[in-house]
């Protein structure tokens, strides 16, 4: 029989480690301890606004702010929400939080560990956390997020924000309050681990209905990109939805642990190995020529949205950094695969080009919703495999493009029927001045050249296609909205 008492004791000790880590900061009840940065006052407001501006409308809603500290976010959320429960395990933080927010009249306060928090099933509209998962062990993250799913009302929201892969201060440690000589128990997980976990968890309610978490988007926090050159401060907005018939798999805790602590980490390492050093892509020449030919008129101040589903192969991609460098423009790049979202953030952290930003959304439609909700209008759309993956999204794409915006697509076609479907989709899309070019010869030559530079082993999550032997034909679409 497994020694349960030993494992409980071990977990108990780990809790103490986190508690004493935070106790060391308990005498500093201001922005510095909340952001673990000596210079926090310089960018606290901007960081807070980044997060608050991405939350749903909280009017009439019940919110729980967990790991709330002195209540940086509690104050603003309570100004619109019906009620906020603000909780943290450090007494002095909650005392300061109370001093700041009690007068609002709709905030209650609780000192306690998030791991032991008890709330009624379906009792809140939003579970808000900002830098909390990184202070929980893997098993506690799984249990906490499953609890959050249970506490939320249907269609309720969960917000997470975590330092992924490295501390918020990045490797140069500007202003860091982590003491170099002291152990730091914080977990800097990959963004992909969180996305995969959110998508995996399930909760069955008393009426036998199965619920899941639906991550709507993941994004870097802009203040940290601008202030610290760090794209790996990531936040997520997630919704509670009913699981469909295809989503009935309810994983056990052990299964989740295996995936979260090991499988997804290993897969990410595998993908990183293949992609981390790649600055150039075989699509670069074909796409930049198309951007020039289509008279996109990109310049400083214009913003391009790019789309990378990476279904066919990892290297079928729009190279966002190349576009920003070549045309001095801003690029908002959409990735749909969690592993490639993480590698994009790694590249961004190393190139430090603040004109390039990345979002993860599961589909193009989700990206359109994200930008439509922010009333954004882009000067151009450049995508790979767009028709192949999102023919339905095409009409809605117009909502986020300026009048006369240019659309450039590189589309693989694997059969005569596929080509026909592509032609029909273009005809039905309402795009103007469409030019459709067969660029198969150029594409295959570029893939062959690219292959010669690839030395890493092929991994399941990073499939490749062969330029010399594959039967795929490539079409370039240039059009105007």
Ligand X SMILES: C[S@@+](CC[C@H](N)C(=O)[O-])C[C@H]1O[C@@H](n2cnc3c(N)ncnc32)[C@H](O)[C@@H]1O
Q: Exposed, middle or buried, 289 (CB in 10 Å: 0-12/13-18/19+)?
A: middle
> Closer CB to ligand X, residue 115 or residue 464?
115
Shortest Cβ distance from residue 121 to ligand X (Å)? 20
Tokens of 216: 């709507």
Decide if 235 contacts 163 (C-beta within 8 A): no
Shortest Cβ distance from residue 358 to ligand X (Å)? 22
Taking residues 345 to 384 in sequence order and writing x for each that binds ligand X by CB under 6 A, - otherwise, the string is: ----------------------------------------
- In angstroms, the CA 335 to CA 37 distance is 31
> Closer CB to ligand X, residue 25 or residue 239?
25
Shortest Cβ distance from residue 28 to ligand X (Å)? 11
Shortest Cβ distance from residue 297 to ligand X (Å)? 41
| One of 40, 77, 114, 334 touching ligand X (CB under 6 A) | 114
Residue whose tokens read 């104050």: 75
Give helix 320-327 / helix 338-351 axis angle, nearest 10°.
Answer: 40
Interaction between residue 282 and ligand X (CB under 6 A): no
> Closer CB to ligand X, residue 114 or residue 148?
114
Interaction between residue 34 and ligand X (CB under 6 A): yes
Shortest Cβ distance from residue 70 to ligand X (Å)? 7
Interaction between residue 132 and ligand X (CB under 6 A): yes
Shortest Cβ distance from residue 31 to ligand X (Å)? 8
Interaction between residue 412 and ligand X (CB under 6 A): no
- In angstroms, the CA 463 to CA 459 distance is 6
Residue whose tokens read 């100004």: 79
* Part in contact with ligand X (CB under 6 A); list of ranges 125-133, 198-206, 286-294, 380-388: 125-133
Interaction between residue 135 and ligand X (CB under 6 A): yes
Q: How many CB atoms lie within 10 A of CB 450?
A: 18
Shortest Cβ distance from residue 32 to ligand X (Å)? 11
| One of 43, 109, 131, 236 touching ligand X (CB under 6 A) | 131
**Closest alpha carbon to 126 in 202, 53, 65, 47:** 65
| One of 40, 55, 115, 367 touching ligand X (CB under 6 A) | 115
Taking residues 64 to 103 in sequence order and writing x for each that binds ligand X by CB under 6 A, - otherwise, the string is: ---xxx--x---------------xxx--x----------
* Part in contact with ligand X (CB under 6 A); list of ranges 99-107, 131-139, 328-336, 470-478: 131-139
- In angstroms, the CA 72 to CA 301 distance is 33
Tokens of 112: 């306690």
Residues in the chain, total: 481
- In angstroms, the CA 311 to CA 322 distance is 21
DSSP 299: -
- In angstroms, the CA 44 to CA 31 distance is 7
- In angstroms, the CA 346 to CA 272 distance is 9
Backbone angles phi, psi at 249, to 5 degrees: -75, 120
* Part in contact with ligand X (CB under 6 A); list of ranges 111-119, 228-236, 246-254, 284-292: 111-119
**Closest alpha carbon to 225 in 354, 328, 356:** 354
Count of residues that bind ligand X according to CB under 6 A: 19
* Part in contact with ligand X (CB under 6 A); list of ranges 108-116, 318-326, 355-363, 433-441: 108-116
* Part in contact with ligand X (CB under 6 A); list of ranges 130-138, 199-207, 380-388, 453-461: 130-138
Tokens of 341: 């979202």
Decide if 58 contacts 87 (C-beta within 8 A): no
| One of 14, 113, 122, 451 touching ligand X (CB under 6 A) | 113
- In angstroms, the CA 113 to CA 20 distance is 13
* Paired strand residues for 406: 380, 480
The footprint of ligand X on residues 36-65 (CB under 6 A) is 36
For ligand X, the binding residues (CB under 6 A) are 18, 22, 34, 36, 67-69, 72, 88-90, 93, 113-115, 130-132, 135
């Amino acid at each position: 029989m497994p020694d349960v008492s030993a494992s409980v004791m071990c977990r108990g000790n780990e809790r103490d480690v986190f508690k004493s880590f935070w106790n060391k900061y308990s005498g500093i009840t201001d922005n510095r301890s909340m952001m673990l940065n000596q210079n926090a006052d310089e960018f606290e407001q901007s960081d807070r606004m980044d997060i608050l501006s991405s939350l749903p409308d909280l009017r009439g809603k019940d919110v729980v702010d967990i790991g709330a500290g002195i209540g940086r976010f509690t104050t603003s959320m309570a100004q619109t929400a019906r009620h906020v429960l603000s909780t943290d395990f450090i007494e002095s933080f909650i005392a300061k939080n109370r001093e700041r927010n009690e007068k609002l009249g709709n905030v209650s306060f609780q000192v306690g560990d998030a791991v032991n928090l008890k709330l009624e099933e379906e009792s809140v509209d939003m579970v808000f956390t900002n830098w909390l998962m990184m202070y929980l062990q893997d098993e506690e993250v799984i249990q906490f997020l499953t609890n959050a799913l249970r506490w939320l009302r249907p269609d309720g929201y969960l917000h997470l924000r975590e330092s992924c892969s490295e501390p918020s201060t990045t490797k140069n440690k500007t202003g860091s309050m982590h003491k170099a000589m002291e152990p730091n128990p914080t977990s800097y997980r990959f963004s992909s681990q969180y996305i995969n976990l959110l998508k995996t968890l399930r909760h069955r309610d008393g009426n036998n209905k199965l619920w899941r978490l639906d991550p709507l988007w993941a994004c870097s926090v802009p203040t940290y990109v601008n202030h610290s050159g760090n794209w790996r401060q990531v936040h997520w907005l997630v919704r509670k939805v009913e699981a469909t018939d295809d989503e009935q798999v309810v994983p056990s805790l052990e299964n989740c642990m295996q995936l979260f602590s090991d499988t997804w980490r290993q897969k990410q390492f595998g993908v990183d190995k293949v992609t981390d050093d790649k600055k150039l892509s075989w699509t670069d020449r074909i796409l930049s020529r198309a951007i020039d030919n289509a008279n996109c008129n990109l310049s400083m101040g214009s913003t391009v949205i790019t789309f990378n589903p990476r279904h066919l192969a990892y290297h079928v991609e729009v190279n966002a950094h190349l576009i920003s460098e070549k045309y001095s423009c801003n690029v908002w790049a959409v990735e749909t695969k969690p592993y490639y979202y993480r590698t994009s953030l790694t590249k961004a952290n190393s190139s430090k080009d603040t004109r390039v930003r990345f979002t993860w959304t599961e589909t193009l439609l989700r990206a359109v919703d994200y930008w439509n909700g922010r009333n954004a209008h882009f000067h151009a759309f450049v995508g790979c495999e767009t028709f192949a993956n999102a023919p339905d999204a095409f009409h809605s794409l117009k909502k986020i493009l300026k009048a006369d915006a240019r659309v450039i697509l590189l589309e693989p076609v694997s059969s005569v029927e596929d080509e026909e479907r592509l032609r029909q989709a273009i005809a039905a899309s309402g795009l103007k001045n469409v030019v459709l070019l067969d660029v198969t010869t150029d594409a295959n030559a570029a893939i062959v050249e690219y292959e010669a530079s690839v030395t890493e082993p092929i991994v399941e999550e990073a499939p490749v296609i062969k330029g010399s032997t594959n039967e795929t034909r490539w079409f370039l679409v240039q059009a105007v909205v």
